[in-house]
Amino acid sequence: MSNHSIAITVNGELEQLSVPGNMTLLEMLRRELALTGPKDGCSAGECGACTVLLDGEPVNACMVLAVEADGANVLTVEGLAHGDRLDPLQQAFMDEGGVQCGYCTPGMLISARALLTRTPRPTEEQIREALAGNLCRCTGYTRIVRAVQKASRSAQATEA
């Protein structure tokens, strides 16, 4: 299979890559850019462990070809923090115990970031709906929902 040249902005950095036409966005992020936050949980778009923001929308990176992302902006969990300062969502996940094994956490954080960007003050139902595509086998979701609520309140406090 022949390679294709793509230009993609990942976590604010423009990347010029040559990738096979059948390489997924997830494979490109992990293999070519060494971004291991997005996880390969199912390779079928069912678990959400590979969730990234593609032009601001949450997508399962295992279901998108890298060539389809040519010219796009991608945000992975590695791009949430600002230097040494965690994103309020990351801090809230730690504070609320929303992390256990951690395998689902990057996808949860990215889905939650997408929600809070479009709905800064979500209801519990909206949070649960936004996270429905992200499977967690450890937490029972309660602490994750509380973490998103806390991050939402934190953002409101900084706006006031």
Total domains, the chain: 2
Mean pLDDT along residues 79-108: 94
Q: Are residues 67 and 36 in the same domain?
A: yes
Q: Which of 135, 136, 115, 127 is nearest to 57 (CA)?
A: 115
Q: Are residues 106 and 46 in the same domain?
A: no
Instruction: Give the residue from 79, 112, 144 where a domain finishes.
Output: 79
- Asked if pLDDT for residue 92 goes beyond 70, the answer is yes
Please calculate the CA angle 67-57-62 and round it to the nearest 5 degrees.
45
Q: Residue 103 maps to which CATH number?
A: 1.10.150.120
Mean pLDDT along residues 147-152: 96
DSSP assignment letter at 43: S
pLDDT in tens, 40-73: 999 999 999 999 999 999 999 999 999 999 999 9
Enter the tokens of residue 150.
């806390």
Q: Tell me how far apart the alpha carbons of residues 149 and 152 are, in angstroms, rounded to a whole number.
A: 5
Q: Are residues 50 and 100 in the same domain?
A: no
- Asked if pLDDT for residue 157 goes beyond 70, the answer is no
Range of 71's domain? Answer: 3-79
Instruction: Give the residue from 32, 62, 79 where a domain finishes.
Output: 79
Q: Are strands 3-10 and 51-54 parallel, antiparallel or unpaired?
A: unpaired
pLDDT in tens, 107-144: 999 999 999 999 999 999 999 999 999 999 887 799 99
